[in-house]
Amino acid sequence: MKVNGTPTRTIWLAEDGRTVEIIDQTRLPHRYETTRLASLDDACRAIKDMLVRGAPLIGATAAHGLALAMREDASDAGLATAYERLFATRPTAINLRWALDDLRTRLAPLPADQRAAAALARAEAICDEDVALNAAIGEHGLAVFRALWEHKGTPDRFNVLTHCNAGWLATVDWGTALAPIYKAHDAGIPVHVWVDETRPRNQGASLTAWELNQHGVPHTVIVDNAGGHFMQHGMVDVCIVGTDRTTATGDVCNKIGTYLKALAAKDNGVPFYVALPSPTIDWTVRDGVAEIPIEDRGPGEVQRLWGRLDSGETAWITVTPEGSPAANPAFDVTPARLVTGLVTERGVCDASAAGLAGLFPEHAAAAE
Ligand code: MRU
């Protein structure tokens, strides 16, 4: 997508053909800054401190991190250490493990002196594949939106609610949940997006709103608790979110608060879709609530907020009284029964083992 009119991805190979550049997402929306990852340390820090975030982009950055690590130490021990260090950065998004497993499987049989080049080539391919997967999700999601919009009695506005940031900033390009929104907007469907602010880190208010602004998509930022109200008043035509890990049975793990939106959508008869590329499916997990590890990011993100002061300076402010503890689970699980459909690169399916196995028969055994 474009930043100030210039086509831009979230991660790209630097001119030296070796290091990679990323957008530092901790500075948005108030500052657009890029930074360079030149080592395994840099890649681990970028993921852990959320300079990059969003499941597909975490996977792509991990792939490049492993490629950078192979330039430092391409021995078997170096490969094992790099895998472990990158794997430990964040626990919930399965794309991290998917990308690391993919690279390790390809690199392990190679002689050490071939590993750096092979890793870089595969990391670049993973980035390109992510763009293609998300573009396909966009087309399938567009068909869903078009059908809902054409069925609607008042076609002058099509209201979509989304939570967190599942846009191009969360992927290499296009995004997952936002890809259909961009495609619908470009196709002339009068899309308006309700953007959940997404406390505590405000990925909706800071990142999704910034993206939509850049592309000129009409939107309104709302507090996380407003969605149910708008649904009750017929002001949400569809919800669509991304996911950090979807089980073989269709349970969806996504940013904290997604579950409550799905409950409100069910109560109000609003379709609730989840957009995901297949590397986000964990075919080894069947019960999302019981089995998916939920990241705990500590109390600081709840107690404090980052933003711009009237002076133009950016600053942290404290919102809780001293001495009040805070809890901060970063994700929750929406059971498959609350999900209307999964929008994947191969099409739309029921959020169920049968639905996923129908689209991905090569994984059917795991989904049974
Ligand atoms: O903690 P984050 O910002 O990495 O969480 C991101 C999300 O929850 C996204 O919705 C999810 O990764 C899907 S991204 C296409």
Catalytic residue among 130, 173, 237, 244: 244
**pLDDT value, residue 366:** 55
Tokens 């499916």 label which residue?
281
**Eight-class DSSP state of 245:** E
- What is the DSSP pairing of strand 6-7 with strand 2-3? antiparallel
Distance CA 54, CA 70 (A): 24
Ligand 1 midpoint to CA 171 (Å):
9
**pLDDT number for residue 75:** 98
**Residue 210 · residue 177 · CB < 8 Å:** no
> According to the model, what pLDDT value does residue 368 have?
58
Query: Are 176 and 166 in contact, with CB atoms under 8 Å apart?
Result: yes
Residue 188 carries which DSSP code?
Answer: T
- Number of domains comprising the chain: 2
Q: Kindly list the protein residues whose Cβ atom lies closer than 6 A to any atom of ligand 1.
A: 53-56, 93, 164, 166, 170-171, 175-176, 203, 242-244, 254-255, 330
The pLDDT, as a whole number, for residue 97 is: 98
Q: What confidence score (pLDDT) does residue 367 get?
A: 53
CB atoms under 10 Å from CB of 229, counted, come to 13
Q: How far apart are CA 110 and CA 308, in angstroms?
A: 50
Look at the pTM and tell me if it is higher than 0.85.
Answer: yes
Supply the pLDDT for residue 122: 98
Q: Which residue has the tokens 């590890």?
A: 293
Measured between its terminal Cα atoms, the distance across the chain in Å is: 38
Tokens, residue 361: 């028969």
Segments in the chain forming alpha helices (H): 40-48, 55-72, 76-87, 94-107, 112-151, 178-186, 209-215, 227-232, 258-268, 288-291, 300-303, 353-359, 364-367
Residue 243, Cβ neighbours under 10 Å: how many?
Answer: 31
Distance CA 305, CA 315 (A): 8
Q: Looking at ligand 1, which atom is closest to the CA of residue 242? A: 13
Are residue 336 and residue 353 in the same domain, yes or no?
yes
HSE-CB at 121 with a 13 A cutoff on CA atoms is: 7
Domain end: 96, 129, 162, which one?
129
| 56 & 176 share domain | no
User: What is the rounded distance in angstroms from the CA atom of residue 198 to the CA atom of residue 96?
Assistant: 22
Q: What is the pLDDT of residue 160?
A: 98
Whether 221 and 175 map to the same domain: the answer is: yes
| Residue 53 labeled ligand binder | yes
- Write the CB contacts of 161 (distance below 8 Å, at least 6 apart in sequence): 193, 194, 196, 227, 230, 231, 236, 238, 239, 240, 261, 270
Choose the final residue of a domain: 92, 108, 129. 129
Q: What is the CATH number of the domain that holds 92?
A: 1.20.120.420
Same structural domain, 142 and 121: no
Task: Convert 133-168 into a string of H (helix), E (strand) and C (coil).
Answer: HHHHHHHHHHHHHHHHHHHCCCCCCEEEEECCCCCH
Give yes or no: residues 32 and 165 share one domain: no
End-of-domain residue from the set 79, 110, 129: 129
Domain holding 72, by residue range, is 2-129
Find out whether 203 is annotated in a ligand binding site. Answer: yes
Same structural domain for residues 177 and 143? yes
123 and 260 both lie in a single domain: no
d(CA 112, CA 126) in angstroms, rounded, equals 21
Judgement on whether residues 248 and 220 belong to the same structural domain of the protein:
yes
Catalytic status, residue 42: no
Residues 265 and 331 in one domain: yes
For residues 341 and 251, membership in a common domain is answered with yes
* Cα-to-centroid distance, 71 and ligand 1 (Å): 29
Please give the chain's pLDDT, 368 residues, in tens.
999 999 999 999 999 999 999 999 999 999 999 999 999 999 999 999 999 999 999 999 999 999 999 999 999 999 999 999 999 999 999 999 999 999 999 999 999 999 999 999 999 999 999 999 999 999 999 999 999 999 987 779 999 999 999 999 999 999 999 999 999 999 999 999 999 999 999 999 999 999 999 999 999 999 999 999 999 999 999 999 999 999 999 999 999 999 999 999 999 999 999 999 999 999 999 999 999 999 999 999 999 999 999 999 999 999 999 999 999 999 999 999 999 999 999 999 999 999 999 999 999 765 55
CATH number at residue 357: 3.40.50.10470
pLDDT of residue 155: 77
Cis peptide before 200 (omega within 30 of 0): yes
Q: Is 37:68 a contact under the CB 8 Å cutoff?
A: yes
Does 65 share its domain with 172?
Answer: no
Say if residue 99 is in the same domain as residue 169. no
Residue 113: count of CB within 10 angstroms of its CB: 8
Q: Give the DSSP per-residue string, 2-68.
A: EETTEE--SEEE-TTSSSEEEE-TTSTTT---EEEE-SHHHHHHHHHTTSS-SHHHHHHHHHHHHHH
Q: What is the pLDDT of residue 188?
A: 97
